[in-house]
Structure 1
């Protein structure tokens, strides 16, 4: 702020100097002296002419004419008081103009320049450490909407001057997540992650931002980040929370129940979150029970053998076939990889042909494949498994243990 005011003072001083230079131009300061010199030269010339005319006998009253010439010279010389008044008038104009420049410059800035906003911006920027503490995990003082806006302004200011501040980008990403601003959240968290990819909080924040995206690639990357966090010596409870939410949204109810159960053990019965987690588990159990309609849907429980090494970016493809093992599926669905064992449910909404619904079958078999490249027509290197023939409406178990 000091630099700003010093620069404005410098500009005002420059404007006053230019005004002074214009008003007191050096040529105008010598006008009176130049006129005096010219009058004197004319006076001397005229005296010489009168002398010559007198010698030639052209004039008889030389003294009278010289006296008139002297009087004319005196009349043409400005009086001292008049010159003093002129100098005083110039100083008055200069002083008044200086005052007007200062008053108009700062007055117009105060009225049109957003001085209050600039001062607020400076105050918010200086208060960044205190506001940042309220955004950190474990803080008992939630940010108000106004404080959230102030913190965003302060962070953007700091990041303009310090673009390599990973913590600043992480905090900006958390604000965007809280405001459901997906684009800003992902961009900010990605910058933080590129600057400090080994930081657990940043990695978790980046995964949370990616989970908000509707793009499958972003969601798969989020799952990959969460899986890597699961390998750490200490696993943050928020990792399990995100995994549970993702599993529930993907209708992988057994996995959601598993993660919420782990969270319950972590917080303990004394924690207020314990009861809320219990309700979530009960909700998932009800969804799992009601998801299979006898004779109209099939529940498939999938597990992996110990030999399977699954790519975190792979997709899970589940297809229902006629009991004779026909390669053409009657119904199929693609899911994120998730965790295993897991249960998925297929019904008429997953039918491949409108004229032949899944519910029209009686005997079925199920195939499961881990698609590693996103192309269903290529199978080289993919792991797969298939069930024994079963009845529609039964729960079918499939072990993925073979590789193409």
Structure 2
């Protein structure tokens, strides 16, 4: 705001200079002096004419005419001396009141017709930007009111105008657009954020979520690729599986939706209030699978840990379904992030390793579970594992991890 006042003062000063410069350079106006100068010029011109006429023989009495010319000049001299009309006013007596009037009038008109209130509100919102940004980052905007959302949007757009390479700012603007279901703004803002920081997982997730709102199939494919890439990380945000499940359900890939919702259940545990909601979503997807004639065979596995097991916090859970003869090559397998135990997972045809050999083709089977600590499924040294007995495909499987590879 200080720049506004400084600029306005400078403009008023410039106007004052141009308006009152003539008054400061006022010249004295003496009518008698001007008349004397004019008479002298006229007398000299007339003398020159008389000389020319005398030379040409047109005038014989040149001296008489000169005498008459002098007499006419004497007659033009006023008989009474001019009385002074008083001392002229000082230019400053005009300048100062006029300057005050112009200043008051300028600011008064701006206050009435200008955007002083809007500018003050904008300045106030800009000062609140750090606080509102932190609120959005920590609570995903859930506690922000509509007024705070509008204020944050204005503040962010102002900051991004001056700092266009602020990746976090673009991400926050994209999140607000997502909350308002503004797909175009969300995609544009998240794309700029992703271009600035392509390795940031929060930005990848936000960009994928924005692309999912797009009606362009290419955008949706890119969203799916980003989410699947995030799902392979050691630590996976639960929103990744939520978006994957939503996308699979919308594409009527109900088996994949059931799989991802099942993973979410394992991550949050049965005590979470969202657990029952996910169960209802899984039941709905299974009904859709039956109506579509899709194979509904699946294996539900509950996994527990023996007290002697020392769990590596970086480990992942690998569940594999094998033929009843115990062949090492699994028919189906899945990889899950480490969660609280006991945990329950469900495998189906979506987890089949080969198209020619599906889980639903088995009548009996056995299940192995391993805690993979190095991320390489081919190495087993030091990994803890457990396996089940041979069971029918429709039976629930309970496994205790209590053995360790040498």
Which TM-score band applies after superposition, normalised by the shorter structure?
A: 0.5 to 0.7
Q: Secondary structure at the match of 1:342?
A: helix
> 1:342 corresponds to which residue?
350
Give the Cα–Cα distance (whole angstroms) in 2 for the partners of residues 385 and 263 of structure 1.
26
Given that residues 241 and 259 in structure 1 are in contact (C-alpha distance below 8 angstroms), is that contact kept between their aligned partners in structure 2? yes
| Aligned mates of 1:340, 1:162 — CA distance in 2 | 50
1:217 match: 218
Contact 1:255–1:341 under 8 Å retained in 2: no
Give the Å deviation of 1:286: 2.2
Query: In structure 2, how many angstroms separate the alpha carbons of the residues matched to 1:263 and 1:145?
Result: 30
Q: Compute the displacement of 1:118 (Å).
A: 0.8
- For residue 13 of structure 1, what is the aligned residue in structure 2? 13
Q: Do the aligned partners of residues 105 and 14 (structure 1) sit closer, same or farther apart at CA in structure 2, a change above 3 Å counting?
A: same
CA contact (8 A) 1:253 1:284 kept: yes
Q: Spell out the pairing of 1:112-151 with structure 2 (5 A cutoff).
A: 112-138=113-139, 142-151=143-152
More moved, 251-260 vs 240-249:
251-260
Tell me: CA distance 1:141–1:385, structure 2 relative to 1, closer, same or farther (3 Å).
Answer: closer
The within-5 A match list for 1:95-244 is 95-138=96-139, 142-244=143-245
Please show how residues 1-400 of structure 1 align to structure 2 within 5 Å.
Answer: 1-21=1-21, 23-24=22-23, 26=25, 29-33=26-30, 35=31, 37-38=33-34, 71-72=79-80, 74-75=81-82, 79=84, 81=86, 83-84=87-88, 87=89, 91-138=92-139, 142-292=143-293, 341-342=349-350
Aligned partners of 1:140 and 1:266: how far apart in 2? 23
Distance 2:215 2:39 in 1: 100
TM-score by length of structure 2 reads 0.62
Q: Cα offset for 1:137?
A: 4.0
| Structure 1 position 255, deviation (Å) | 1.7
Do the aligned partners of residues 20 and 40 (structure 1) sit closer, same or farther apart at CA in structure 2, a change above 3 Å counting?
same
Partners of 2:218 and 2:131 lie apart in 1 by: 37
Instruction: Show structure 2 runs of 5+ residues with no match.
Output: 42-63, 68-72, 298-328, 331-346, 363-406
Contact 1:240 1:260 in 2 (8 A): yes
CA deviations on 1:4-55 (whole Å, 9 max, x unpaired) are 221111111111121111x5163xx22325x45446668999xxxxxxxxxx
- Cα gap change, 1:183 to 1:70, in 2 (>3 Å): closer
- Please say which of residues 255-264 and 133-142 is displaced more in the overlay: 133-142
**CA 1:43–1:211 in structure 2 vs 1: closer, same or farther (change >3 Å)?**
closer
2:29 alignment partner, SS class = helix
Q: How many residues align?
A: 299
CA displacement at 1:291 relative to structure 2: 2.7
Q: Unmatched 5+ residue regions in structure 1?
A: 46-55, 60-64, 293-297, 307-338, 344-383, 389-394, 398-404
Supply the RMSD in Å over aligned alpha carbons: 4.2
What is aligned with 1:330? Answer: none
Q: Is contact 2:211–2:223 with CA below 8 Å preserved after alignment?
A: yes
**How far apart are 1:91 and its partner, in Å?**
4.6
